[in-house]
Amino acid sequence: MKVVTKTGSPESFATEGFVAGVFADEEPDSSVLKMDKEMGGHLLAAIENEKFRGEPGQLLLINTLGVVPAGRVALVGLGEKDKADEESFRRAMAVGALSMRKAGATRITTSLPTAFGDKDSYELLAQAVTEGAILATYRFERLKSEKSKTGINTLTLLAPDNKSRKELTKGVLRGTAVSEATTFARDLINLPGNYATPTILGAEAKKIAKQYGAKCTVFGPAEIAKKKMGGLMAVAQGSKEPARFIILEWMKGPKNQQPVVLVGKGLTFDTGGISIKPSANMEEMKSDMSGGAAVMGVMKAVAELKMKINLVCLVPSTENMPGSAAVKPGDVAIGLSGVSMEIINTDAEGRLILSDALAYAGNYKPDCVVDVATLTGACMIALGRHASGLFSNDDVLADQLSESGLETGELLWPLPLLPEHDEDIASLVADIKNVGPRWGGASTAAAFLQKHVKGKWAHLDIAGTAFSDKNKHYTRRGGVGVGVRSLVRFLEKRMGV
């Protein structure tokens, strides 16, 4: 979908569909009132007859029958005015865009950002509206023999004047960049394991570097062994697919600026290894590389926006398979950090491969390290699919991540990381073991990761939010691409750009 900005008046702008917002129990905005006047009172009558009250998610689609240049008008609910935020507009635009696509429209228009925002909010609202439209209309059809023949080609954001249009354009550029980076991540997650191997992830990283002028280094098995990345080696030994350790560097900020290092779990398929998972729904384990896809998406967005920051993305990538050489329960691996790890459960493999990436991050003397991983079912049990878990050893870092998640609709919920959780992973034969007791599994996993980190660090457990079993708002069934938009916003806060 191409998103553009233009100046004009909604009631006189030719389009196949116009999306207008209505706050709960508030009078419609001026664009709706002007259209209603041109339509002889038909719009307001429809609002009354259909009991449209502007509640969140509510939709009223009206065919104008050629009375005004807009073929259809989609009224979307924004909820209560005093509670409206970026997410309200993101979700409302998703409802409008999907309704227009279903109606067969290919060109749609909206004035949502300027109709309800003030000049200081035009850019943010334009970004939110852009995200809502692009993300909601996403389809994964790469492997289908027949593709969808209908879809929205162009979304136009209308501005009343050129000054307002400039602000909208800024928001559209940011919204397009982060949305396309999110759909890039969604595509990687939705690809089955035989189409998204560690080798293919490495190739995709190289494509990003080549396109935008970033630096990409991909270690194969020999280099991984030479670096003594024992956690990654242990998990990889059960699979015929060679492991990869992917490094993307974007050093476009000040020379004295310490980089932020993002680490993403790149487990391209997870059977559980010797501690094999139940077969039901195992096909969804292609999404165990969602963290890796997310940080690669962040790099893509940062490069597209030409952000003047220093950023490093690390993705340890392998499969977890029960081959004849697979690591066994009770085996001990020694990671890059030098910490020895007793492997009690081979299905707790994510923390093993992340341990090497977290240790490697120290080479950059980073400002902070943030890892993103589909790590524990325990986090999903605690938070469901509604929020990701957040662990951190630094309050400022945690607050910046939480704020970014709230603003982008990718909610992060703080969870505890206590000294007692360290005791839970103490091993009789090694420094630590890779699982603790049944209780507090998300926290003991975070405690395991912390053993390999130096400096400020945060861990995002996206086990419940990375893959969706249904369509909701602007999220489509399948890979969500969670983390891309919130981490880009976080980088803006953290690096002051």
Residues whose CB falls within 8 Å of the CB of residue 133, separated by 6 or more in sequence, listed in order: 1, 3, 93, 94, 96, 97, 108, 152, 155
Where b means 16+ CB within 10 Å and e means fewer, 6-24 reads eebebbebebbbbbbbbbb
Amino acid at 11: E
Do residues 343 and 234 touch, judged by C-beta distance below 8 A?
yes
Active-site annotation, residues: 277, 351
Do residues 359 and 334 touch, judged by C-beta distance below 8 A?
no
Amino acid at 277: K
Q: Say how far apart CA 409 and CA 364 lie, in whole Å.
A: 31
CA 227, 228, 232 angle in degrees (round to 5)?
105
Q: Say how far apart CA 430 and CA 294 lie, in whole Å.
A: 32
Do residues 314 and 262 touch, judged by C-beta distance below 8 A?
yes
Residues whose CB falls within 8 Å of the CB of residue 237, separated by 6 or more in sequence, listed in order: 323, 325, 326, 327
Q: Say how far apart CA 322 and CA 324 lie, in whole Å.
A: 7
Q: Which two tokens stand for residue 286?
A: 């292609």
E-only strand ranges, 382-472: 388-392, 412-414, 432-433, 457-461, 467-468
* Residue that the structure tokens 């779990």 belong to: 265
Do residues 260 and 368 touch, judged by C-beta distance below 8 A?
yes
